[in-house]
Structure 1
Amino acid sequence: MKNPLTSLFSVNSTSISLKTCISKSIDLLKHFTNQKSISHGESLHAHLIKIGIDSEKYLSVKLLIMYSTFKKPLEVDQILKQFDGFNLVVRNCLIHANMQTGDFNKARKLFDEMPERNEVSWTALISGLMRLGKVEDAMWYFGDNPFRNLFTWTAVITGLVQNGLCYKAMGEFRRMIGCGVMPNDVTFTSVLRGCGEMGDFLLGMCVMSFVTKVGFAEDISVCNALITFCLRLKMVDLARSVFNRMGSRDVVSWTAILDMYIEMGDLKQARRIFDEIPEKNEVSWSAMIARYSQSGYAEEAAQLFQKMVLDGFKPNTSCISCVLNALASLKALPAGRNIHGLVVRTGREGDVFIASSLIDLYCKCGETKDGREVFDSILHKNVVCWNSLVAGYSLNGQLGEAIEVFDRIPNKNNVSWNSLIAGCVLNEQFDEIIEVFNQMLLSGELPNKSTFSSVLCACASLASLDKGKNLHGKIIKYGFGCDVFVGTALIDMYAKSGDVESSRLLFKRIKEKNDVCWTAMLQGLAENGHAKEVLDLFYEMERTTTVPPNELIFLAVLFACSHRGLVDRGLYYFNSMEKVYGVHPNEIHCTCVVDMLSRSGRLSEAEKFMENMPCEPEVNAWAALLSGCKMHRDEERSERAAEKLKELTEKKPGGYVLLSNIYASAGRWHDVSVIRKLMKEKGLKKSGGCSWIEVKNRVHLFYSQDGSHGQSLEMFGILDVLAFDMFVL
């Protein structure tokens, strides 16, 4: 960092006038105090002593304020000796400085010991007390104040608004006007802020009229307050009108109107306003970057952040966190490491919010080791850091590490539990999810919508209807029965558990259905073989809603057409996907068409379709064609399909098994043995079939030719008895 003193003392001090030197020194001392840079302030003080102007009255006052702010009593006493006895200006400065540092008792002691006070003394004490939240003390001093002028009234009104006592502030404003004291720009700014926080439209309009009447309609700070008031009350057009009428604008004006478009979600217009801002500040940059990141425009957020840094602006904590989140979604690890370097260089590596975003970045890029190093470097960890690491391990399949970190979290919250449950979902540890959910309830932590959605996913995957119904009861108990997201998860759970009727009832009860809800119902019907209902429901969705069909909805529709033998209708929907609905077909949609044509015996069309597919046919497409060939005994075409399938399934047994079955159905046993031998040579083995049942809240899994179950002997014994009885009968 370049030393700010260089520009002032790079030449001999005699080459600039004494007045200029004092003026620049005062500005620098004020800057160092605001930036909390005591080392630079002390360096400047030393140089002022060297050139013999440190005792200049105004410089001494600024030095006094600086040392008081940094609580340097020895330096304060030394400077006070330069003043001859009581000095009103010095005392007022000390009161203000002590209030700034929160030393209320010392400030009040200075005030009480003053032999005489002026309006500045009273205003400094009252405004300081208000800033510290000591409203009653401030009002007591205000009542005893002999100077009931504009400045003390404004200090009281501003302080009351800052402490959330807006109604009381409006009362003092009326009293002030009644006493004949006219407000200034600061008064109007505070009053308008109070009107906005109260949501009082009529009072705000009256104040706006008063603003015009007393001649502050062109004041920048008052206009900024008017814009903020209008935006708070959702009066967008009026806010824009005030902005357009302003003769001159500052960065606050531009940032306020920028925030308006950002809140409206109009990023295009917000960016246009942002580009028009003549003098941007860190707030306007951060607002635009944050909204890009939060709205899913990660690349734009990263590019804007880069431009911000190149233009010489220093990003704040929120801005760095937002750009790290954007880079995490892009998995842009090199750029993320550069931001990490910037964080270290600026001394902010200990910030828990930035550290949490870094953990998230590294974990989403698969670098959990680096994420753990960032986590371990945080001295004062909060629950956000812990949760980020749990989620990061879960995302990378390191569930053991995630559980180990989770168990160490000192104060778990809802997000902690949800992170672990979501990790179990990602790693398909569905039995573990139920156990974690029960532990969560026992801990006293209340589940939310996200919790129920994840646990319902586990019940759906386990096809555990009893657990799902039990969970449905809890959802109603906790008041989430009408939520569209939880309702959609329930529809999916019931459908995957085979209870389509319950899915239908839940679907009908949801008033505001979104695309996810329609998708869940259509897929549930398709997976359970209700092909006619899929097509009827899809027609109803098109006729009665504005919900656009998505890829999954079209997949359910094509699946239904395939199983109903409605080939021409299915082809119509497939061809209209991109032309009518703007949905680009993917490999799975194409496979569905191949399956549809193959099932109906239109094998030549299926083969021709595969040759002209907009994408490369996947393994399942060739398998579908082979299956159709098997069904319709087309050996010649099956040979061609099998050769192609062999190229794609070097390490997958499905295609070979299908080809073997085709040869077997045709009585070509020699070819069957050749395929089986080829599978054996390649070390391929088809996974055994699996079934399961749930008994007393426990899921029992059974695999083909598997005797690992604890009660296998008893079960096989019963099967032998049944087999004997059937044979005898």
Structure 2
Amino acid sequence: MRAAVRTTQPGPPRRWPPPAQPVAEAKPAKARAPITSLLKSLKSFKFRLAGGPPLAPTTKAFKSYAETCASILRLCSAAASSTPSASASAPTTSSSNLPLVLSIHAHALVSGLTADGSVASHLLTAYAAFARAADRNQAFHDCVTVGAASPFTYDFMVREHVKAGDIVSARRLFDGMPERSVVSYTTMVDALMKRGSVRDAVELYRQCPLCSVPFFTAMIAGFVLNEHHKDALGVFHEMLSCGVSPNEITLVSVIKACIGAGEFDLAMSIVGLAIKSNLFEKNLGVRNSLITLFLRKGDTGSARRVFDEMETRDVVSWTALLDVYAELGDLDGARHVLDAMPERNEVSWGTLIARHEQKGNAEEARILYSEMLADGCRPNISCFSSVLGACASLQDLRSGERIHAQALKMAFSSNVFVSSALIDMYCKCKQLPDAQRIFYSLPQKNIVCWNSLISGYSYNTKMVEAEKLFKKLPARNAASWNSIISGYAQNRQFVDALKSFHAMLASGQTPGEITFSSVLLACANLCSIEIGKMAHAKIIKLGVEESVFVGTALSDMYAKSGDLDSSKRVFYEMPKRNDVAWTAMIQGLAENGFAEESILLFEDMMPAGITPNEHTFLAILFACSHSGLVERAMHYFEMMQACGISPKAKHYTCMVDVLARAGRLEEAEDLLLRIGSKSEANSWAALLSACNIYRNKEMGERAAKRLQELEKDNTAGSVLLSNMYASCGKWKDAAEMRILMKGINLKKDGGCSWVQIRGQYQAFFSWKTKHPLLLDVYEMLDLLTCELTA
């Protein structure tokens, strides 16, 4: 649930303009002292510390001495900040002035100078400049102890904790502040939003009685970052109501919020406000946002025109243009833009990598990642997530492990988004122990990590483990339910999929397109048209019936349930149909015996601008097979190869079935012998079945032998061969085959049937006699038999 903004529960009234804030004594001077003057001051002060007479504690002398100390500390801070080597990796060797700062601190403690606010503030900034966090914290503690802590001191320490990533310490210090300034509120709101703690940030937003442009901007940008675009627009409206004029950073965030909320007209009004405020021409960020706005509106021509009219461009401008081509599906054009960029960064590379990964070009995404590293760019979180997704699609464990090592080296492996991608990659590569180790080693797990491992268990047919983990979820969202429901459906546990769907509805969670696709798949395989119709009604109520995925699943469900009229009505009412939708309808007609209508629909597919895929050809070959249309099947088989689609084993199986059903057994066997290793067990089973029909004992024996070689545990070949011997009057051979099956412990798969009673499925298996109502069932069956024979 999105966090409500302040308008729903108003807090203390805001005051505008805000009260004047205390002037920060430690504000660095714009013009630094020359280096000679710096050295002279340092030498003079060192001499005074070494042998100068003690100062009388008079007010004037004490204040003068405090100002001298503060000046020296300020100069040391400036020198440390300007030294390239002053970094966290080498804090003690960055400058020779650090001992002087430590001496001043010690002298200040002895002489009582820490009670002076200016000295205390400059001590903090000096230690921060030298990356001495422990000394900085001690100086702040001393400052608070003697009562010299000013609002600037608290604001500075809150900001330092946030910069170090220690949000807990920052919040603890913020809550203990005697007087909070709008600077501290802004710092905390920004930090909480970046961490994803939206509710906590909204709570502080309501409490703050003050307001400023950075404060509102931090709130708006935070909502945009967490994809709460409507709430961001609500804060912007309140900002204008308070009379606060936005700056260019605010407008960029608001335009992003408009894009995310689909409020394109409002976004154009914001652009007009930027032009009126004279921020459009002189600010690149606003113009870059305009490119993205036009792109999301689908007006790629205007986006390109804005880019061409820009006198100056930065890497963000080029990246936005790259995204224009990627959005159009012209990934080659996007690559040309990348090559033409005068400067590339990780965002530019990451955009193209992500687009290739989303379009299914996993191999190209992996290649681009390698080129990015060769170009000297450091991958960010988005790059790692995208390239790991590509490795998962390719099931490329070796590359995935190498990228995992890079993420560890760059300290990104503990990031929840990178960790989720790693879990998914290891699961897709069948390395569940590695995925589990990453999951359980995470100090903080978000819902994405939980969902990734649940989906990973489902992908590896570990539904018991998936269900256990699902029950342990601290909080469930739609993706969590989708993971478990689709897992059951993919593992053909359709009854459990429907039970989980009902539990999802009972929990109050709203199902989406992915949910309905899995539910309708379960209904189709269970021939449960009642639940399918209920799901259809829910789809219409939620307004997702226009989705091509949902429409395809609905059409397939009705076709598999035998309701072809409903199936065709759903198909023809779809506003947009892709190759999958056409294939599902063609197959539905073929499976229900309407081969001619299926062929006519296939003939209409290409004129409609849809190119058939390998599954489409499989469906049409199936239709020809069950209608005895040998010549048509051969025509479509040749057409498939002309379209650049290489026949798979299933296509050859269909062709063998077509020829075998028509009695052309020699041609079917020649085809199987010609393709050699591409043949599958089902191909020889189809030939053996036809040999049984046409009583061709010799060929049947050859087919059975080949079937046994491909699948040793497959009982179909032995059963079919035994039946063929029996149909040919070879009773001795048939008996020997049955004895052979018993000797090697081969058993024919038993039959299964089920019935739905009051929403519950009752399954009956021919080999299982432990149903709790078995005796009642047989008593009723005997009663019905007596009634029929009476």
Query: Does the CA contact (< 8 Å) of 2:451 and 2:480 recur in 1?
Result: yes
Which of 478, 491, 505 in structure 1 is aligned with 2:569?
505
Of 471, 479, 492, which aligns to 2:535? 471
Tell me, in whole angstroms, the C-alpha distance in 2 between the residues paired with 1:714 and 1:519. 44
Residue 572 of structure 1 is matched in structure 2 by: 635
Q: Is structure 2 residue 407 aligned with structure 1 residue 357? A: no
2:701 is the alignment partner of 1:651: no
Q: Give the TM-score, by structure 1 length.
A: 0.75
**Distance in 2, Cα, partners of 1:273 & 1:24:** 46
What is the aligned-residue RMSD (CA, Å)? 4.8
Q: CA contact under 8 A between 2:174 and 2:180: conserved in structure 1? A: no
Provide, for residues 600-624 of structure 1, a one-character-per-residue CA deviation record: whole Å limited to 9, x for no partner.
Answer: 2223333333344486332222222
- Aligned residue type for 2:363: E
Equivalent residue number for residue 486 of structure 2 = 422
Q: Residue 694 of structure 2 corresponds to which residue in structure 1?
A: 632
Q: Which ranges of structure 2 fall in alignment gaps of 5 or more residues?
A: 1-34, 43-73, 106-118, 144-149, 161-169, 191-203, 222-231, 259-264
Separation of aligned partners in 2, 1:538 and 1:266: 29
The alpha carbon displacement at 1:511 in A equals 3.0
Q: Distance in 2 between matches of 1:624 and 1:126?
A: 74
- Using the alignment, how far apart are the partners of 1:710 and 1:155 within structure 2? 69
C-alpha distance in 2 between matches for 1:385 and 1:202: 40
Is 1:600 aligned with 2:658?
no
1:506-555 deviation line (CA, Å, top 9, x unaligned): 33332322222222222222222222322232233344x22222222222
**Is residue 547 from structure 1 mapped to residue 610 from structure 2 by the alignment?**
yes
* Alpha-carbon spacing, 1:362–1:518, altered in 2? closer, same or farther (3 Å): same
Q: Give the unaligned 5+ runs of structure 1.
A: 1-13, 80-90, 112-122, 140-153, 177-185
Identity %, equivalent residues: 38
By how many angstroms is 1:596 displaced?
1.4
Contact 1:30 1:62 in 2 (8 A): no
Distance in 1 (alpha carbons) for counterparts of 2:708 and 2:127:
86
**Within 5 Å, which residues of 2 pair with 1:670-685?**
670-685=732-747
Aligned-residue offset at 1:247: 6.4
State the distance in 1 between where 2:385 and 2:458 align: 21
Kindly provide the CA deviation profile for residues 678-721 of structure 1, in whole angstroms up to 9, marking residues without a partner as x: 33333322212333333333333333465333343344455556
Residues 1:106 and 1:666: Cα distance change in structure 2 (over 3 Å): closer
Amino acid at match of 2:633: G
For the residues of structure 2 that align with 1:156 and 1:436, how far apart are their CA atoms?
Answer: 44
Of the candidates 81, 101, 122, which is equivalent to residue 29 of structure 1?
81
Q: Is the 8 A contact 1:472 1:490 kept in 2?
A: yes
Q: What is aligned with 1:337?
A: 401
Q: Could you state the TM-score of these two structures normalised by the residue count of structure 2? A: 0.70
The partner residue of 1:661 within 723, 742, 754 is 723
Shift in CA distance, 24/697, structure 1 to aligned 2, threshold 3 Å: same
Shift of 1:588: 1.5
Corresponding residue for residue 71 of structure 2: none
1:690 counterpart residue number:
752
Q: Is the 8 A contact 1:591 1:617 kept in 2?
A: yes
User: Per the alignment, in what secondary structure is the counterpart of residue 692 of structure 1?
Assistant: strand
2:392 and 2:425 in contact (8 A); partners too: yes
Counting only pairs closer than 5 Å after superposition, residues 221-620 of structure 1 correspond to structure 2 as 222-223=283-284, 225-234=286-295, 236-241=300-305, 243-244=307-308, 249-309=313-373, 312-543=376-607, 545-579=608-642, 581-613=643-675, 616-620=678-682
Q: Cα gap change, 1:92/1:644 in structure 2, threshold over 3 Å: closer, same or farther?
A: closer
Tell me the residue number matched to 1:115. none
- Does the aligned pair in 1 maintain the 2:255–2:289 contact within 8 Å? no
Distance in 1 separating the partners of 2:566 and 2:180: 76
Q: Aligned to 1:702, what secondary structure does the other structure show?
A: strand
Of residues 411-420 and 666-675 in structure 1, the stretch that sits farther from structure 2 once superposed is 666-675
Asked if the contact 1:336/1:361 (under 8 Å) is kept, the reply is yes
On the 8 A contact 2:681/2:711 being kept in 1, the answer is: yes
How far is the alpha carbon of 1:246 from its aligned partner? 5.8
Amino acid at match of 1:410: P
What do the CA deviations read for 1:253-274 (whole angstroms, capped 9, x no partner)?
4333333334444322222222
Deviation at 1:419, TM superposition (A): 1.2
User: Which residue of structure 2 aligns with residue 44 of structure 1?
Assistant: 94
Q: Deviations over 1:449-497 (max 9, x none)?
A: 2222212222222222333333333333433344332232222223223
**Structure with larger RCO (C-alpha < 8 A, sep 6+):** 2
Secondary structure at the residue paired with 2:626? helix
Cα distance, 1:670–1:167 mapped onto 2, change above 3 Å: closer
String of CA shifts for 1:97-116, please: whole Å, max 9, x gaps. Answer: 579569999999999xxxxx
- CA shift at 1:573, angstroms? 1.4
Query: Measured at CA, do residues 339 and 566 of structure 1 come closer, stay the same or move farther in structure 2, by a change above 3 Å?
Result: closer
Secondary structure of the residue aligned to 1:694 is strand
Q: How many residues align?
A: 657
- Residue 69 of structure 1 and its aligned partner are, at CA, apart by 12
Distance 2:300 2:86 in 1: 35
Contact 1:324 1:336 in 2 (8 A): yes
| Shift in Å, 1:661 | 1.9
Partner SS state of residue 755, structure 2: strand
SS of residue matched to 1:480: coil
Answer yes or no: is the 8 Å Cα contact 2:555–2:570 preserved in 1.
yes
> How far apart are 1:291 and its partner, in Å?
2.8
